[in-house]
A = this chain, B = another copy of it.
């Protein structure tokens, strides 16, 4: 797949701003990869809470105010994801590109079509 150059620049901007945000607050002492991995999953769970008691159909049609909350939860995930990658020296754009290529191989259309099976069971 092809990723436009813009993304790298965007990520660089975001990485820089999140670094500054943490530095100003003297928060790097808390931002070990271990801790950021925990914060990341805690945010992913905030999303789960919005969907746990609704049906799949309802999950497509959240009320507007709830959707706005979910948007901010997704933002939290994006923020911690970038921050964790930064602390580990991982380039998310590069990794995403690589993973999408792997998925193409793991899930060839002719085998994966219409099934929800894991690639190990195809």
Number of chain copies forming the complex: 4
**Chain B residues near A27 (CB, 8 Å)?**
112, 114, 116
Residues of A in contact with B, size category? 35 or more
The 24 sampled A-B contact pairs (Cβ below 8 Å) are: A6-B6, A6-B7, A6-B10, A24-B113, A27-B116, A32-B60, A33-B59, A33-B62, A34-B51, A37-B47, A37-B48, A37-B51, A37-B59, A39-B53, A41-B48, A42-B45, A45-B45, A62-B88, A67-B88, A71-B95, A71-B98, A75-B100, A77-B77, A78-B96
Smallest CB–CB gap between A98 and chain B, Å?
Answer: 7
Residues of A within 8 A of B (CB): 1-11, 13-14, 17-18, 21, 24-27, 29-30, 32-35, 37-42, 44-57, 59-60, 62, 67, 70-72, 74-79, 81, 84-85, 87-96, 98-100, 102-104, 107, 109, 112-114, 116
